[in-house]
């Protein structure tokens, strides 16, 4: 989206590279042998069963956690250089982890993101507010929503406000954690359309989802995790019976839709 932000731009740099990464909270590793490359402008879904390390991988990419072996680079920078990568990544957390039992307005939510990027103790001004409103419009929300209480919006609107907060800082990489939980189908489609637009503008998009079905027709690649990478590639190459068994420990029926995409029918395999 923003060119020239990164002095390493001239050489073709991959968005995210991971080499031999291992991470664990105790002795047992949550993730091991994680090696992959995500190219610029790719749209990738990370999926796998509960406890497979999906969210841990996101935290490693954000530099919140550091690998105990190996290295992750974001636009060429090691995740140890958090100040550098913070400015490149927009993050949208799981809505369920948010507590809005107080009259925080949409404006407050979006401005927190812009404020954090600017330096949390510095004041934000009119120009920042203008950027915030632009971000709200860019996710297809009405400008009037700016002064409304976040808690009183629908699940889909809340999710889009959080997306606007991530986009307001004009990231080159967008990380979304379970963006479709508690979001109605029209809102899902709006978010997907928006992501397609962003990719055209050069943004790399990475999503963590427990169910890939709503995304299948849009994504370039799927990473199937089960504490290691079971498979990483085009959806049809990844969603095979063999891979699904090794990730989920059970056979998952696959349905082919009219357009020829393989859709896993998870039923109650998921928690």
Partner 1 sequence: MPDMEISEVLVQPYMLRAIAGIILIAINASVAGSFTIFRNVSFLVAGASHSALAGAALFILLGVYGFPANPLIGALLFAIATAFVAGYASKEETNTAIGISFAMSMSLAILFISMIREYAAKVWSLLIGDLFLLTYEDLYLITFVTFLSLMIALLFYKAFLFISFDSEGATAFGLNTRRYNYLLLSLIAISAVMLLKGVGAILVFAMLVAPAAASNELASNLRDVFIYAFIIALVSGFVGIAISFFFEVSPGAIASLLATTIYFFSLLARRFRGD
- Interface residues with partner 1 (CB under 8 A) are 62, 64, 82-83, 86, 89, 91-94, 97-105, 108-109, 112-113, 115-117, 120-121, 149, 152, 162, 165, 175
- Half-sphere exposure at residue 110, Cβ-oriented, CA atoms within 13 angstroms: 32
Whose Cβ is closer to partner 1: residue 70's or residue 93's?
93
Of the pair 102, 200, the CB lying nearest partner 1 is at 102
Is the CB of 21 or the CB of 161 nearer to partner 1?
161
DSSP characters over 86-151: HTTEEEE--GGG----S--BHHHHHHHHHHHHH-TTSPP-HHHHHHHHHHHHHTT--GGGGGSBGG
CA atoms within 13 A on the CB side of 72: 29
Give the C-alpha separation, 204 to 42, whole Å: 5
Q: What one-character DSSP code corresponds to residue 48?
A: -
Query: CB 195 → partner 1: shortest distance, Å?
Result: 18
Min separation Cβ 104 and partner 1, Å: 6
Chain CA centroid to CA 190, Å: 16
Joined together, the tokens standing for residue 267 give 């039923």
> What minimum distance in Å lies between the beta carbon of 5 and partner 1?
16
Q: Which is nearer to partner 1, 82 or 226 (CB)?
A: 82
Residue closer to partner 1, measured from CB, 108 or 129: 108
Question: CB of 196: closest distance to partner 1 in angstroms?
Answer: 23
């Amino acid at each position: 989206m923003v060119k020239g932000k990164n002095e390493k731009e001239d050489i073709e740099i991959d968005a995210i590279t991971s080499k031999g990464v291992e991470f664990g909270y105790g002795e047992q590793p949550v993730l091991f042998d994680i090696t992959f490359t995500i190219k610029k402008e790719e749209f990738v879904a990370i999926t796998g069963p509960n406890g497979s390390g999906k969210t841990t991988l996101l935290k490693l990419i954000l530099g919140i956690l550091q690998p105990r072996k190996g290295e992750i680079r974001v636009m060429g920078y090691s995740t140890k250089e958090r100040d550098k990568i913070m400015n490149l990544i927009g993050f949208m957390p799981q809505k369920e982890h948010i507590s809005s039992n107080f009259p925080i307005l949409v404006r407050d939510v979006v401005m927190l993101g812009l404020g954090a990027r600017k330096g949390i103790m510095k004041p934000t001004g009119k120009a920042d507010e203008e950027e915030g409103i632009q971000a709200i419009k860019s996710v297809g929300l009405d400008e009037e929503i700016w002064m409304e209480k976040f808690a009183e919006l629908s699940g889909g609107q809340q999710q889009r406000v959080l997306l606007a907060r991530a986009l307001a800082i004009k990231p080159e990489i967008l990380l979304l954690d379970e963006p479709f939980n508690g979001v109605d189908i029209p809102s899902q489609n709006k978010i997907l359309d928006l992501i397609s637009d962003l990719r055209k503008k050069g943004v790399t998009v990475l999503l963590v989802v427990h169910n890939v079905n709503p995304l299948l027709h849009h994504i370039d690649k799927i990473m199937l995790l089960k504490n290691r990478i079971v498979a990483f590639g085009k959806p049809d190459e990844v969603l095979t019976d063999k891979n699904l068994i090794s990730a989920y420990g059970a056979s998952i029926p696959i349905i082919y839709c009219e357009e020829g995409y393989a859709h896993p029918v998870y039923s109650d395999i998921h928690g």
